[in-house]
């Protein structure tokens, strides 16, 4: 691998890493908002079910079922955030590998 192409690859990976930081911030915000929405809807549903006289022992299970769409959105946003972290980590590994190649070539 030529030195110039390795340098170009490192530069491109660094740009991707920078943009992944912005994407991770957005994914983190989406994750937090989904968690907030889910907890809020769950609390409202539990309160509604309690006022309707549903037994305490099953209120939480029924409430979770009734707000399952919000639970799904929360879980998807969490998975997206974790996937974003994995992508950023993969880019870091790639940069490290290129740095090793550069060091090896400069030692030759």
- pLDDT score of 107 more than 80: no
pLDDT value for 98: 85
- pLDDT score of 75 more than 90: yes
Report the SS3 class of residue 2: coil
**What are the structure tokens assigned to 96, written together?**
């490290």
pTM: 0.79
pLDDT value for 1: 65
Residues 5-55 pLDDT 10s: 888 888 888 889 889 989 999 999 999 999 999 999 999 999 999 999 999
Domain count, the chain: 1
pLDDT value for 108: 65
71 lies in which domain range? 3-107
Residues 78-89 pLDDT 10s: 999 999 999 999
Least Cα distance to 96 among 8, 4, 13 occurs for 13
């Amino acid at each position: 691998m030529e030195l110039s192409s390795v340098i170009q690859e490192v530069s491109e990976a660094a740009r991707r890493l920078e943009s992944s930081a912005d994407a991770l911030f957005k994914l983190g915000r989406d994750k937090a908002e989904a968690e907030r929405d889910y907890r809020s809807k769950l609390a409202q549903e539990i309160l509604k079910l309690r006022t309707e006289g549903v037994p305490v022992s099953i209120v939480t299970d029924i409430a979770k079922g009734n707000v399952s769409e919000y639970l799904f959105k929360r879980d998807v946003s969490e998975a997206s955030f974790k996937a974003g972290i994995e992508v950023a980590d993969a880019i870091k590994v790639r940069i490290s590998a290129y740095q090793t190649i550069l060091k090896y070539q400069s030692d030759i």
